[in-house]
Amino acid sequence: MAETVKDLKDLKEATTDAAEAAAPAAEETSAPKEPKIDDLGRSYATGRRKESVARVWLTKGSGKVIVNGKAQEQYFGRQTHLLVLNQPFLVADRVNQFDVMCTVKGGGLSGQAGAVRHGISRALENFEPALRPALKKAGMLTRDARVVERKKIGKHKARRTKQWAKR
């Protein structure tokens, strides 16, 4: 019994020593992140949603958004798509402070709007790492993993079964 108590004390001392040794290393890694900006003053990020992939470049500017060579209003016809697209700027309180140039391909317009939003969020984080907590809390940095369910054998669609007749 006395040996067990002694072993527990030794184990406790060893874990506290290890924790104290690891504490300075944790302080070094929690240094503020550096912005990832290229020579032209742009930050780059890739956003994804469903089958869509958006490549986004973000620069300081007046709030102009160009999607595949067109203004955002021309490319995305619905107002809801434009709201989705500009959500990261509203969350980060950076409306009309950045210009966005992006190329997006694959999927439909809703998926493309979501992909551009994801890309803008990640590019904002690369440009200003201090915005990460606000964007993360709003769920903008998380990739939405929902995709179309595949069709199964013996069914009409993914879940729709064949019609059953009693008589």
Distance CA 110, CA 147 (A): 13
Q: The whole model's pTM is what?
A: 0.78
Residue ranges of domains in the chain, CATH in brackets: 43-136 (3.30.230.10)
Tens of pLDDT along the chain (167 residues)? 556 556 656 655 655 555 565 555 545 556 778 888 888 999 999 999 999 999 999 999 999 999 999 999 999 999 999 999 999 999 999 999 999 999 999 999 999 999 999 999 999 999 999 999 999 999 999 999 999 999 999 999 999 999 999 98
Task: Indicate the SS3 state at residue 58.
Answer: strand
